């Protein structure tokens, strides 16, 4: 799933960088996440947090969190209008 539309960064890209030992600030610098419009910062931070070694089931938890988020619901409403 694309997390940052401005820089076309997916959750897989972020997860790969987390597994390489990078934190959010490093990933932000490397990939440009949350450096343009900033709307993806919360989701990107959630992906980083959930992809840590202490929480290996990030994809399952992230999917439910995203579909319940306000940003997801507002984009659904916009698409229908």
**How large is the C-alpha radius of gyration of the chain?**
13
CA distance 49 to 58: 8
Find the mean pLDDT for residues 74-78.
Answer: 50
Q: Which of 2-16, 18-32, 49-63 has the lowest mean pLDDT?
A: 49-63
Domain over 2-80 is classified CATH 1.10.10.1100: yes
Mean pLDDT, all residues of the chain: 79
pTM: 0.66
Got the DSSP string for 2-48?
Answer: EEETTTTEEHHHHHHHHHTT--HHHHHHHH-TTSSS-TTHHHHHHHH
Domain boundaries, the chain: 2-80
What confidence tier does 58 reach under pLDDT thresholds 50, 70, 90? very low
Residue for token pair 């450096």? 35
């Amino acid at each position: 799933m694309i997390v940052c539309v401005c820089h076309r960064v997916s959750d897989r890209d972020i997860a790969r960088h987390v597994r390489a030992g990078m934190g959010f600030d490093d990933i932000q610098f490397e990939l440009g996440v949350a450096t343009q419009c900033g709307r993806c910062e919360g989701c990107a931070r959630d992906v980083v947090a959930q992809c840590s070694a202490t929480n290996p089931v990030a994809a399952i938890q992230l999917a439910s969190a995203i579909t319940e988020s306000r940003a997801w619901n507002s984009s659904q409403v916009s698409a229908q209008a």
